[in-house]
Each structure stands twice: as C-alpha cells, then as structure tokens.
Structure 1
Amino acid sequence: MHQARLPAVPASTDSYRLLGATLIDGTGAAAVTDSEVVVVNGRISYAGPRRRGWSAPEGMAAVELPGKTILPGFIDTHVHLAASVETNPAQMLARFPSEHTFEAASIMRRTLKAGVTTARDLAGLDAGYRNAVAAGTILGPRLHLAISALSPTGGHSDFHLPNGAKTGLGMFQDFNPIIDTDDDVRLAVRLLVRSGADVIKVCTTGGVSSPSDSPHDLGVPERHVQMIVEETARRQGQPVAAHAQGAQGIKEAIRGGVASVEHGYEIDREGIELMLERGTFLVPTLSSALRVPRPADVPGYLYEKKVRWSEIAREHVAKALAAGVRVAMGTDAAICPHGVNLKELGHLVELGMSPMDAIVAGTLNAAELMRLQEHVGSVESGKLADLVITASDPLANIGALGDPANIAVVVQGGNVVKDLHGWMPWAPAPSLLEV
C-alpha cells in the first residue's frame, strides 16, 4: 500500500487543554457538548467528553470555551494558490516573477486564516512553496501539489494563444503540460513525480473558462488516463484527479481509474452509477460553478458559458449528492475568490447535503481523498492537532463559516496561527502582518 507524503509544518512543543466547547469531530458522529480536547506536542492525545477526574500534568495550559465549537481544520482539495480572480491577464503579464511569488504567499496565508489547514493545489505551485511552509518561512496550509495539469494540444491546460504566446499560468511555468502521444504521457508523469507531485491532474474535457474549447470537448482520452494510473502505481501511487465537466469526459475519467472527478458539472445517471460502483470522489467546486460574474467583468464568450454551465452544475451535482456519491470539498479558488473557502460548505447544503455531511466532506472525506486520513481530517486521539474554533454553531448556520471573521482560532500542528479574540492566552500574540 502506497503512503502519501505528509505535508510538514513547523513542529509544536505546546501542551494544552481545550474545555467546555461543543466538539464536531469530522467523522459524522453526533456533536459532543462540554468536550475536552488535549493537545501534546502537536498531536491530539484525547478528544471527547470532559473528564472530571483527570489530573492534567503540571504546567499544562487550559482554557474554557463555553458556547464555542471546535472542528477539524478544513481541507480544500481544489485550489490554485498561484492565481487570483482579482488579477486580470494584463496585470499578470506586467509582473515580475517575484511579485507573483509574494502574492501567492499572501494568498496562502489568507487561505490558512480562513480555516483551511490543508490544501491540494491542482496546478500552479511548485514544490518550493510546500518546502517554505514546512520550514516556517511562510504561513500556509499543508500542501499537496499537482504542479501542472495535463491536456492535449489545444486542451484546457494549453496556455498558448493562437499566435503561440503564453498567457495565464503558462507565463510562470517551465513544465510542458501537453500530452498527445503515449510517450508524452509516460514522460510527463515521470517528470511530475521527479518534481515532487503528490497528485497527477489530467483534463478529460475542455472548460468553462477556456477560450478555445468547451466542457463538451474531450481532452485526455480514457486510454491515456489508464496509462497515467498505471504509471503512478509504479511509483508512490499518486492519485489521479480529472478536470471533467461534460458528461462523456466524466465517464472516460472514471473508467480510466481516476481517484476524483473535479467539477463534474454535467454528471449523468451512468456517471453517478460508475462513481458509486468504483468509490470515485466528486469534488464539485460549487464556489466556482455557481459564481456568475458581471457581464462587464469578463469576455462575452465566458459570460454566456458561465450562465449556462452554472445551471447545468446546479441540476446535475444536486442529483449526484442525492444519490450518495462520495464528496470531498474543493472550491477552485482562483476562479472564485481566495480566503472565503468555507463558503463551499453552504453551497453543498444549498444543493441538498446536511450540514454535518458537508463538514465531513470538508474534513475526513477530503483527508481520505488525499490519503492523509491517518493524520488529519478529524479530531481524534493520535491525529495532528489541526483545529478550527468558532463562536458560531455550524449545524444551525453552516454559512457562518464562510466568513473568516467567524473563524476565531486556527491551530495547525498544535501551533496557534490565528487567534482573533485572545482565547488562547499561552500562544504568542500574532504580529500585525499576520492578523
């Protein structure tokens, strides 16, 4: 059995008890009122009902949190931290690479402060960003990386304009993401693995935002998806994620053996049955799908596609949720705004999920998709202390989590990286730059 790389963050030596809060542990179990969570050296040593007779070791800090809720740190399995919907292509073209790097670091910090302690970047970041988080150079989520997305010439991740000029993420990318032949497929996977990829992303359809194709256009074929899955099985078993929006490309991705369908906007009954049969995850990215920009803010072709495909996604994804397809939370942040990732939970509930199931999609299910469920995704003994604390009741108002102002405390590996109200008195006060 292949083991996933556990993304590192700076080690914590703190030990403390969190008492009296309601605990939603991420497993789907009923919430525990008047709970106790004990953190020792970055891991959870106890999580459950408050123990009245237990004597804490001398010097262990404790804080009472009545009326608050403790949840696992959330996991966004589909982000693009190196890009931003707020930055237009002309601005990107005018930037120095260093400006691009600093903006990505700022986005990573905002994402962490929004309650996302682990993220899967599905094209844009290289392994240096993951290393910088591990070293404590920058604040950000634990990172798994695709590095680049693979598609045929003219496909969704071909960033060339008709005249051959690069645009978008292609400006900062040395890796060639184009795979047209069998040899291209093998070489691309091997280069990505050498570069530190934790997941391989393929585009089996075109996209809503692509200027030269559509979600109905087919991209990487089923046979090449199978080759990619076979090639990763010879290495660390990296899961394969498919950008797949139209119905036929979704089914080719599933039959090819992907671990997750990203977007899945037009999934049909046959696709749903295939996903249920094979246990394939759906990452519906509703934050992007349901967002329709103002006509003046985007090219005409894009506005028309967004309106149409937003309605398609609303209809079809709701059917997949009702059928019980396994869902992992993902936002496609960059195509939608960064730093409000947990709005995705509200969208899942809007399309039919219960608040508890939406929380599981953003915690334990997402951890399972990333093969990290032994370490993160739930508040259980032995797991890393990645936590979110809020004064809101997410089971009564799941939408409150979408506002970072309601994410009062974020703990990552036992380290308090956000504390808006001074609830954690033993933690160092954050600098003005990190609020």
Structure 2
Amino acid sequence: MTLSNKIIPQEIIRLKRDGKVLNEQAINGFVSGLVDGNFSDSQVGAMAMAIYQNGMTVDERVNFTKAMMNSGDVLSWEGFDGPIVDKHSTGGVGDKVSFMLAAIVAACGGYVPMISGRGLGHTGGTADKLESIAGFNVQPSISEFKRIVKDVGVAIISQTDNLAPADKRLYSIRDVTATVESIPLITASILSKKLSAGLDALVMDVKVGNGAMMNNLTDAKALAESIVNVANGAGVKTQAIITDMNQVLGTSAGNAIEMYETAKYLTGKQREPRLHQIVKALASAMLINTNLARGEKDADAKIEQVLRTGLAAEVFDRMIAALGGPTNFIEQPWDSMNKANVIMDVKAAQHGYIAQMHTREIGMSVVGLGGGRTAPTQKVDHTVGFDRILPLGVQVNRGEVIARVHAKDEDSANRAIEQFNNALTYSEESPELSPVIYS
C-alpha cells in the first residue's frame, strides 16, 4: 500500500490550504498520488493552488523535490570521461538559448543530457520546438538517450514516462490552472527533472520582466535563491544568472521559426546581440563550473572557437540526426519543417521609438495562433508565430515593418497583428533599456 492510500487526498489539501507545514509523509503521499492516480486532476489542481497561495518552507521544498525526483528513474553516467552539465531556463518568449548553448558546451568537451519541458502558459517549450523537425523523436528510451549523449555530447529530449513522472503530470495541470508562477512548484519541477538526470553541475537562467514567470527582480532573486539552495543541498553544484525578459529574446517567437533562428545563429548568419550575450554568459558559467575553462577569458575563447570553426553547428546537426531528424538540418532547416499558410507583415501603428513591449501578450498571441496549449492534451501548430521582430529602442516610422506573423489563415493573422501592435508602446525620446544580464 502506498502512502497516498493511507492519507486521504483532501486532508493533505486541507493542511496546505490552511497554511500548515507538510511533513515528509504528507508530501510523499501527494507525490505518490500524482503517479498512481490516487489524486484526481481536480485534487491536483486544488493542491497546486494551495501551494501557490501559501508557499512552502525550505524543508518542504527539499522533501517535495526529492520525492518528485525519486518518483521514477534516476540516471547515472559511469564511464563518461567529462563532466555531466545542464542548463535550465524559467521560460520566456522567444527563448531558444538551450539549443545553441548545449551544442557549444558539448563541442567544448562537456556532456549535456538535457531533459526539457513543453510550453507552459505564455512561454514556449523546448520539446515542442524540436518537434517542428520531421522525424525528430523527443522521447527515446533511456538507453538510447545515454548512448546519444556519449556519442554526440548532447541530447535534448522531453520528459520520459520514467523520469520524474510525478512532475510530468503536475506540470500539465499547472499550465491550465493558473499556478505556473509558484516558486516552490517551479523549484521542485525544475530540479526533480534535473536531479534525476544525475548532473555534476547546473546553471539556471532565471528570467525577469513582463514576459517571464517572475516579473520583478525581488521575485526573480527569490526563485534563484530557492533553486540554488535546494539544488546545492541535494549535492549538485548550481549557479543562477538573472536575465532580462522585457522583450522577445532574439528575433522570433514560435516553434519552427525559432528552430530556423537557431540554425542561423549556429552558422553565424544571424546572431541577435542580446541573445548572443545570454548564450555566452550561460555557456561560460557551465564551462567554468565544470573546470572545462580556467576563467571567463578562457571560456570566451573556447566559445568563440567552436562557433567560428562550425564545431558547435556540427554537434547540433549530429544530435538532430541521432534523434531521428535529417542529417543536414543546419544547412537546410526548411527541408524538414513546415511553413505557415499565411505570412503577413506587422506594421508600426505610429512614429517613434519602440519603448516598451508587453512580452507576455506576444507570447499569448502565439498561443492564440495555435503555437501553445490551452488544454494539456492540445496539439501544437509548429508553423505559427512571429519573426523579424525589431528590438526595443529602434526608431520607426508609421507603416514600417516591425515584425512578420505566421498563421494558418488570414483571420488569425489579422488578429495577431492587432495583438502585436497593442503590445507595443512608443515614445518620442530614445528609451532607457533594461540590462540584458542583471546578476
């Protein structure tokens, strides 16, 4: 008999609803109930809301994270001749950093077993983006996953049924119950997956701004500290870097079009400056924390070398092919991805500097186009989204093209154009921009 059978679900919910501290038995009961179905979807949603409203102590977070991690397989990497390292982002709009970063670090000698998530709320999902590519398998067997990591240096997959299965169920319910932004839930969700991957080191990209889960620096720092404390407490060397999400990252938001931007980045055809700065900062931290680089100067040199020589692009191509995709994705990305039926220009509604971008609204517009989910089982349209997005601080004239929308039909394209324009604010003076990296 599991603990979840001994403890009645509504009693655990009641304890947390009333602001009580859950002991290890109650936490294990909830996590067991996630896996064996003893907690119904409505009870999981109620529990998530109770945690969202009342929070968790550090001890509760540690016990919750460990229980979620141990709800399935925990990987080991004996026989590997380099460090096992990963990165995780708290999510944003246009955040395709994982792809470039994983390829760079693998090209520098690290092993990157990246277990990624689906889209959550207004933010895109790494696994969804990879599924834009024909044939790409985001759920290989664990033995195949480990083989590819050993052969290529990197494999980016989605959660398997056997890795942190408790989180997999909770994650999908959080997405549709407005409980995404809870610091204890985010901490346990991220770390249960990452710790079950058997890492030596982890670097966290904690996003802050109007397109992030955490829209102010105080909350972002609280989340960063929560993750670092819980992960280091569990024996994984972890560093967090707080980066800006007050505008779309890079020039695109949407599944296939972000994969296209990734190909352009790795081949050197286009490296949007903010995106490049964040990729380099996170890659540098991963190399230094695993002793693959002696310091920032050495890390920068190694990063530039694998980008300049094309080694990072080659590693990425090999990973795509190893997981069922084409052998020439980097050179011919559109050969294996579908394009949207309708592509239309988004034109500036007025003269002036682009002063503010309500990034969450742009993310929700991508969801509205079909590029995200409003229900856990919903299929994603990989073709839709925005590209050629101009950054904040650019001066434009009325009628000038500021982005393009990719949509399934003209009606949804026109709606998205209106939403994109409504998400921008203009000013007569050049605006003061947020830093790209806060701390």
Report the TM range for the smaller structure's normalisation.
under 0.3
Q: Is the helix fraction higher in 1 or 2?
A: 2
Q: TM-score normalised to the size of structure 2?
A: 0.27
Q: TM-score normalised to the size of structure 1?
A: 0.27
